[in-house]
Chains A and B, each alone.
Chain A
Amino acid sequence: MNFPADLKYTRNDEWVRVEGNTATAGITDFAQEQLSDIVYVELPAVGDTFQKGESYGSVESVKAASDVYLPLGGAITAINDVLSATPEVVNSSPYDQGWMVKFTIANLADLEGLMDVTAYQKFCEERKS
């Protein structure tokens, strides 16, 4: 399982890549594997704003559907249009082509409490056993 070192992670199995005041978010390799074949991704509109931890969309697989939550509060600047036609990209490339939203970070203090790669990897292993 893939755990990129440059990302921050949440307990809802989301990742966020922070670059200055902007960020990119998606779901982790662990999440896509738990969900299995993803058939639909619902994303917000550009310009929508969300609080930290607020649901901004949902992911449906052949066996489950779950909300996705923004790891940091902010305003959406881009959504991954590729996912509307080919949601399975989230399965094959959860951290790259399968990104979900880009947003401007409202408050960098929101980063506090997110897990680094070591903590998240441990969190996943605990749940696997």
Chain B
Amino acid sequence: MSYYPHTERERAEMLAAVGVKQIEDLFADVPAKVRFPQLDLPEPYSELETMREMLDLADANANAQHNPLFLGAGAYNHYSPSLIHQLLLRGEFLTAYTPYQPEISQGTLQTIYEYQSMICALTGMEVANASHYDGATSLAEAVIMAYNHHREKRKKVIVSPAVHPQYREVIRTYTQGMGLTIVGDEDPENDLAELTKQLDKDTTLFVVQSPNFFGQVENLEGLAAQVHAAGALLCIVVEPISLGLLKPPGEWGADIAVGEGQSLGVPLSYGGPYLGFFATRKEFVRKMAGRLVGEAKDKNGTRGFVLTLATREQHIKRDKATSNICTNQGLMAVAATIYLATLGKNGLRRVAELCWHKSHYAAHEIAQLPGYSVDLSRPFIKEFVVQCPQPVAEINAHLFNEWGIIGGYDLSRDYASFPNHMLVCVTEMNGRDEIDALVEALGEVTSHTH
């Protein structure tokens, strides 16, 4: 769908139709003193001067293109093939609002349909919506869906402490005032065996993340059966690249699979816009939030695509709708679709293998450094926890100031029991030279102090 701005003539016609002389007259109700405040701004810059100013500001930042980056924790530095960005610039995709009218938007609707199909294939689930804002809001929608599925009669949500800390915060924000109790993450030591003891007939949803926030692959064997025996639903939070190698949530018996889709070709971009994916089983589709594109036939029998099951949404179901949010991340979903189509099954598996091998190489090298230890007893992919000889903030300062390396995530920000623990992320973007430099740089920190 093309975007056409209003012409001066059309504006004049509209102003005449509503009976005002100029656009400013429409703001007459705003108190005069705040209506058009004087802004203390410098003189206008030329384009050349503006570009220099912006480049100077940009140069003050370290960035993933120029600095070796070992920071993950939910946002990942993966390679985004240049064709993604090129195709996203097409005007049909690059609009401020996703066009849904089937008579003019078959291309967009088909792309979203393919996105949904790919998310289903990736997660092993039966139906996926057109996406949410990000992984955290997808998870919050999962909680609300489970609560609705149980007709608001079950009020307990069990969440593993190894679910991303910010996702757990967003659940609590989204469900404020709903009377839900979020339990399980009060003790960071709670493992799955401990968490399943909390299952009861008041439990609506059990949330586990695998690979978890610490990069570890959880053992999900038998979990779904335990959760279902209590009558609760199971939500598994997944990292999509890892699904190139790992068994998908659908095969583990998940009722809902959610996650952050940023890894799929979307750049880091200071934390957004990102992409929340959400997939579930067909039996829950009526309770699912978000938009859903379905395949249909037109009057000539030709395949086409339309929004479907819209009665779920708030403009029809009003206060009975599962969610009041139908916004999707249209452009980011397109990016993920192009990414998955470009890589294909084998390409995605290759990226996952590179992450696996490179992160294991890094972990084993770091584990040999005096003063450092790495828990290698549990399987992990892409991320692992390093126990350091000093606070992570100090180590990261050394890494950056002396080596230009952006270090890992400081776990003391979220977990008091991990004062000197760094969450290190290694992807296909980190060459062996970068990993070896990180190991050498970390080794210096130890030798400074001993």
Given contacts A39-B311, A40-B311, whether A64 and B286 have CB atoms under 8 Å apart is: no
How many A-B contacts if CB must be within 8 Å?
23
With CB as the reference atom, state the residue of chain A lying closest to B287. Answer: A42
Evaluate contact between A63 and B320: CB separation under 8 angstroms.
Answer: no
What is the minimal beta-carbon distance from B7 to any residue of chain A, in angstroms?
Answer: 37
Whether a CB of chain B sits under 8 angstroms from the CB of A121 is no
Whether a CB of chain B sits under 8 angstroms from the CB of A124 is no
With CB as the reference atom, state the residue of chain A lying closest to B152. Answer: A55
Given contacts A39-B311, A40-B311, whether A63 and B316 have CB atoms under 8 Å apart is: yes
Whether a CB of chain B sits under 8 angstroms from the CB of A67 is yes
B316: which of A42, A55, A64, A67 is its contact (CB, 8 Å)?
A: A64
What is the minimal beta-carbon distance from B124 to any residue of chain A, in angstroms?
Answer: 25
Evaluate contact between B311 and A62: CB separation under 8 angstroms.
Answer: yes
Evaluate contact between A58 and B316: CB separation under 8 angstroms.
Answer: no
Whether a CB of chain B sits under 8 angstroms from the CB of A61 is yes
What is the minimal beta-carbon distance from A58 to any residue of chain B, in angstroms?
Answer: 6
- What CA separation (Å) do A42 and B320 show in the bound complex? 13
What is the minimal beta-carbon distance from A76 to any residue of chain B, in angstroms?
Answer: 13
Write out the residue numbers on chain B whose beta carbons fall within 8 Å of the beta carbon of A60: 286, 311, 316-317
- What CA separation (Å) do A62 and B4 show in the bound complex? 33
Evaluate contact between B316 and A40: CB separation under 8 angstroms.
Answer: no
* Residues of chain A at interface, number, CB under 8 A: 14
Evaluate contact between A66 and B320: CB separation under 8 angstroms.
Answer: yes
Near B by CB (< 8 A), chain A positions 25-77 give 39-40, 42, 44, 55, 58, 60-67
Task: Give per-residue flags for B50-70: 1 if the beta carbon is below 8 A from chain A beta carbons, else 0.
Answer: 000000000000000000000
B286: which of A40, A44, A55, A62 is its contact (CB, 8 Å)?
A: A40
With CB as the reference atom, state the residue of chain A lying closest to B153. Answer: A48
What is the minimal beta-carbon distance from A77 to any residue of chain B, in angstroms?
Answer: 18
Write out the residue numbers on chain B whose beta carbons fall within 8 Å of the beta carbon of A55: 151
Write out the residue numbers on chain B whose beta carbons fall within 8 Å of the beta carbon of A65: 311, 316-318, 320-321
Evaluate contact between B311 and A61: CB separation under 8 angstroms.
Answer: yes
Write out the residue numbers on chain A whose beta carbons fall within 8 Å of the beta carbon of B316: 60, 63-65
- What CA separation (Å) do A63 and B315 show in the bound complex? 10
- What CA separation (Å) do A65 and B151 show in the bound complex? 15
With CB as the reference atom, state the residue of chain B lying closest to A63. Answer: B316
What is the minimal beta-carbon distance from A20 to any residue of chain B, in angstroms?
Answer: 28
What is the minimal beta-carbon distance from A26 to any residue of chain B, in angstroms?
Answer: 19
Evaluate contact between B320 and A67: CB separation under 8 angstroms.
Answer: yes
What is the minimal beta-carbon distance from B320 to any residue of chain A, in angstroms?
Answer: 6
With CB as the reference atom, state the residue of chain A lying closest to B313. Answer: A65
Write out the residue numbers on chain A whose beta carbons fall within 8 Å of the beta carbon of B318: 65
- What CA separation (Å) do A58 and B320 show in the bound complex? 9
- What CA separation (Å) do A64 and B318 show in the bound complex? 9
- What CA separation (Å) do A39 and B312 show in the bound complex? 11
- What CA separation (Å) do A66 and B319 show in the bound complex? 10
With CB as the reference atom, state the residue of chain A lying closest to B318. Answer: A65
- What CA separation (Å) do A117 and B10 show in the bound complex? 58
Write out the residue numbers on chain A whose beta carbons fall within 8 Å of the beta carbon of B321: 65
- What CA separation (Å) do A60 and B322 show in the bound complex? 14
Evaluate contact between A42 and B311: CB separation under 8 angstroms.
Answer: no
What is the minimal beta-carbon distance from B312 to any residue of chain A, in angstroms?
Answer: 8
What is the minimal beta-carbon distance from B399 to any residue of chain A, in angstroms?
Answer: 55
> Footprint of B on A, CB under 8 Å?
39-40, 42, 44, 55, 58, 60-67
Q: 21 A-B contacts, Cβ less than 8 Å apart?
A: A39-B311, A40-B286, A40-B311, A42-B286, A44-B151, A55-B151, A58-B320, A60-B311, A60-B316, A60-B317, A61-B311, A62-B311, A63-B316, A64-B316, A65-B311, A65-B316, A65-B317, A65-B318, A65-B321, A66-B320, A67-B320
Q: What 4 A-B pairs have minimum CB-CB distances, sorted nearest first?
A: A65-B317, A60-B311, A65-B311, A65-B316
Q: A55-B151, A63-B316 are in contact. List 13 more A-B contacts (CB 8 A).
A: A39-B311, A40-B286, A42-B286, A44-B151, A60-B311, A60-B316, A64-B316, A65-B311, A65-B316, A65-B317, A65-B321, A66-B320, A67-B320
